[in-house]
Amino acid sequence: VAVADVRTAKIADLVVTRDNSVADGAMANTLRVRVTDAFGNTLAGQTVSVMADNSATVSPTVTTEPDGTVEISITSQTAGTSTGTASINNSSLSRNVTFIADVRTAKIADLVVIKDDSVADGVMANMLRARVTDAFGNVLAGQTVSVTADNGATVAPVVITGPDGTVEISVTSQTAGTSAITASINNSSLSRNVTFVADVRTAKIADLVVTRDNSVADGAMANTLRVRV
């Protein structure tokens, strides 16, 4: 009976068997490694060293089954590509797996005012930038963010995040003063204040009222008026 030669054990194959799992630290991408000797005979009971980059987690070693194969599970909390590498002796193979951000945990991670103190003319806009991530900080593209504004300001009711998980929010108003802008997704929301200033270009006399009349013409007693602009 021919016996496989463990001295020549090598990684004959490394195949991705599950990919595109959620980057939640629990759902796993999987690979199957096959170990043989130099002549292709399968080798059971062989210890295979395993590594993964990009902050992914793997068991550092796995042991082959009677058919010479063993499954490798990789988890991560970081969205993106992770390279899994299986090694034995001086033989190794690597394959990439992909983890995706967890849309179930989408939240407003940040809301920043990037333009403020615009004129309250209904045209000039104050601007904010919202950033949406999952629970582990992975950015989420294509997410619908609800937006509200108070004090008579106008915003689009929804905006959609770009590839980097951010989206700009434009706010206009015809009312001078402070407006609170709120961005929300799921049960997560953040608010920031922006300020609109009165438009001096359109200054006009809104009112002119006599407040004192019929004063003595002695060069000292004054008639008075109150003007409102």
The answer on pLDDT for 212 being more than 60 is: yes
Residue in this structure with the two tokens 């905006």, named with its chain if needed:
159
CA distances in angstroms from 126 to 68, 116, 140, 160, listed in the order given: 64, 5, 24, 18
**Of the ranges 2-16, 30-44, 87-101, 109-123, which one carries the lowest mean pLDDT score?**
2-16
- Kindly tell me the sign of the dihedral angle through the C-alpha atoms of 93, 45, 39, 71: negative
Residues 134-156 have pLDDT tens digits of 999 999 999 999 999 999 999 99
The answer on pLDDT for 175 being more than 80 is: yes
Q: Which domains does the chain carry?
A: 6-99 (2.60.40.10), 103-199 (2.60.40.10)
How high is the pLDDT of residue 215?
A: 75
pTM over 0.85: no
Biggest alpha carbon–alpha carbon distance for the chain: 134
How high is the pLDDT of residue 202?
A: 64
Of 172, 26, 221, 181, which is closest to residue 105 (Cα–Cα)?
26
Q: How far apart are CA 203 and CA 60, in angstroms?
A: 73
How high is the pLDDT of residue 224?
A: 64
How high is the pLDDT of residue 157?
A: 99
